[in-house]
Structures are given as structure tokens and as C-alpha cells.
Amino acid sequence: MTTIYTMQKLTNKEEEIMHILWKLEKAFVKDVLEEITENKPHYNTLSTIIRHLEEKGYVGYTAYGKTHQYYPIITKEAYRKRFMNSAIENYFNNSYKNVVSFFANEQKISVEELKEIINVIEKNN
């Protein structure tokens, strides 16, 4: 299995497809296509995107004749961890304090939520 350290960056469309595969757990291309509500790609385009996800190590498949049923190899949690670590490193100087400060300054986090975070930290120490 691919580790979080060797994951290749996903395009926005690839990430959208991964969210669908995480939701469905197993799916044929037609199943994924049915889940896309906006900017629906052509079937062949979607099939190519899913094959790229396979090449990048995010997706595996079970073959049924010429048809493939795809499933995620990388968990959503592993991807989220990699994504968050990368964002914190690249945009917040690897500082979680800077992350929390950013959300506080943007008024995206309340005092109550900050208290809950402090409680979680205190319980884990």
C-alpha cells in the first residue's frame, strides 16, 4: 500500500473523483459518472481520470471481463493527513498555532470551539 509520504498530488477533478470513490467504496465508471452533478465529463474522460488515479496508487480495481470495478486504496483519513500536513507546512510555516490564529482572525472558529480544542489537547496529554 502507498504510504502518505509517497502520495502524488491530485488535481481538483481527481480529488473530486476520490471523494466519490470513498463514498461509494466500490464503483464502475458509470456509477462514478452518476454521482457527478456539475461539469459532468464524458465517460471516456472519466475513465482516463480514474486510470490516472490507479497509476498514482490511489485506486485499485477488480476486473470483470473488459469492465473494471474501482475502489480506493488510500483511505480518506490518510489523504486528509497528507493534505493537512502539506498545507500547514506550505502555508503556515509548519505551525499549528498559525493555523488556529488564521481561523480565529478570519472568524471561522468561535471561542467555544477553541475551548473544545483545548479540552481535547488536555485530555490527550
What is the percentage of the chain residues whose pLDDT exceeds 70?
Answer: 94
Looking at the structure, do residues 20 and 68 belong to the same domain, yes or no?
yes
What mean pLDDT do residues 69-81 have?
94
CB of 65 closer than 8 Å to CB of 56? no
Q: Which three cell numbers stand for residue 51?
A: 486510470
Q: Which of the listed residues 55, 72, 89 is the one where a domain comes to its end?
A: 72
Q: Which three cell numbers stand for residue 125?
A: 496529554
Total count of residues recorded for the chain: 125
Q: In DSSP terms, which residues pair with 70 in a beta bridge?
A: 27, 61
Q: Is residue 7 part of a domain?
A: no
Q: Is residue 4 part of a domain?
A: no
Q: Is residue 3 part of a domain?
A: no
CB of 92 closer than 8 Å to CB of 103? no
Containing 62, the helix (H) or strand (E) segment is strand 59-64
Looking at the structure, do residues 63 and 111 belong to the same domain, yes or no?
no
Looking at the structure, do residues 45 and 97 belong to the same domain, yes or no?
no
Would the pLDDT of 82 be above 50? yes
Q: How many domains does the chain have?
A: 2
Looking at the structure, do residues 65 and 80 belong to the same domain, yes or no?
no
pLDDT in tens, 102-114: 888 888 888 898 8
Instruction: Give the span between the Cα atoms of 100 and 118, in whole angstroms.
Output: 11
Q: Which of the listed residues 49, 72, 95 is the one where a domain comes to its end?
A: 72
Q: Is residue 1 part of a domain?
A: no
User: What does the pLDDT read at residue 1?
Assistant: 44
User: What does the pLDDT read at residue 106?
Assistant: 85
What mean pLDDT do residues 42-66 have?
96
What mean pLDDT do residues 43-48 have?
96
CATH number of the domain to which 62 belongs:
1.10.10.10
Would the pLDDT of 81 be above 50? yes
Does residue 51 or residue 125 have the better pLDDT?
51
Domain that residue 34 falls in: 12-72
Looking at the structure, do residues 47 and 16 belong to the same domain, yes or no?
yes
Grade residue 6 by pLDDT with cuts at 50, 70 and 90.
Answer: low
Looking at the structure, do residues 83 and 61 belong to the same domain, yes or no?
no
Instruction: Give the span between the Cα atoms of 20 and 72, in whole angstroms.
Output: 10
